[in-house]
Structure 1
Amino acid sequence: MIKIYHNPRCTKSRQGVAFLEEKGVVFEVVKYLDETFTFQSLSEVIAELGISPIALVRKNEAIWKSDFKGKELSDTEIIQAMVDFPKLIERPIVVHNGKAVVARPTEKIEEVL
């Protein structure tokens, strides 16, 4: 099943949900600020994305700037920061059949359908 990690307050995330609805596909919405990632589950999504953990970080978030910016962090520390502060995770993330994309732009969802 297709899964979208969604933040309802984010325009791009809402566009991702609308895109999937328009396609008529069955999907699961995970409000990742409420149903937070575990270290393991976020690590798996990063592997499905095929990117480094730092590439998933929203670097303009205040918590990143105040607590992490400019520090040399390992991948483990970056993943843990995103688990501890899920607002740091870029969104929306769409996962399907072992592949994932950050749906920016929204049309990137096509890559996993």
Structure 2
Amino acid sequence: MITIYHNPKCSKSRAGLCEIETLNLPFTIRRYLDHPLTKEELVALLEKLQMKPIELVRTKEAIWKEQYREKEMNDDEIIDALLTHPKLIERPIVVFGDKAIIARPIEKINDLLG
């Protein structure tokens, strides 16, 4: 099953969803701003992405710049910031099995699905 972590206000996320819809494969949409991730889900997602928490942060977001940019933070603190402000999470994220990608550019989706 394919899962897309989606923000409908984001053009890249909408493009990723359109790409998935053209594949005619079963998928689910997780609107992570409406249904935030738990800490366990976020940690599992980071493992599938094979990323450190800081790599998942949208560092150009005002929230990050105003509240976190100047702080020295460990991975747990960054995870807590992502959980507190899900808008900081890069998007779209596509999960297939035990692997995940940030689908930028959207062609990465086809690479993930092989």
**The two structures share one fold, judged by TM-score above 0.5:** yes
RMSD (Å), alpha carbons: 0.6
Aligned residues: 113
Contact 1:57 1:89 in 2 (8 A): yes
Identify the residue that residue 42 of structure 1 maps to in structure 2: 42
Gaps of 5+ in 1: none
Q: Where does residue 93 of structure 1 map in the other structure?
A: 93
The letter for the 2-side match of 1:78 is I
- Identity across the alignment (%): 50
Cα separation, 1, equivalents of 2:75 and 2:109: 26
Aligned mates of 1:112, 1:2 — CA distance in 2: 10
The one-letter code matched in structure 1 to 2:102 is V
Question: Structure 1, residues 47-79: CA drift from partner, whole Å, max 9, x if none?
Answer: 100011100000011110010002110000001
Alignment TM-score, normalising by the size of structure 1: 0.98
> How do 1:27-66 and structure 2 match up within 5 A?
27-66=27-66
Number of the residue aligned with 1:3: 3
CA contact (8 A) 1:101 1:111 kept: no
TM-score for the superposition, normalised by structure 2:
0.97
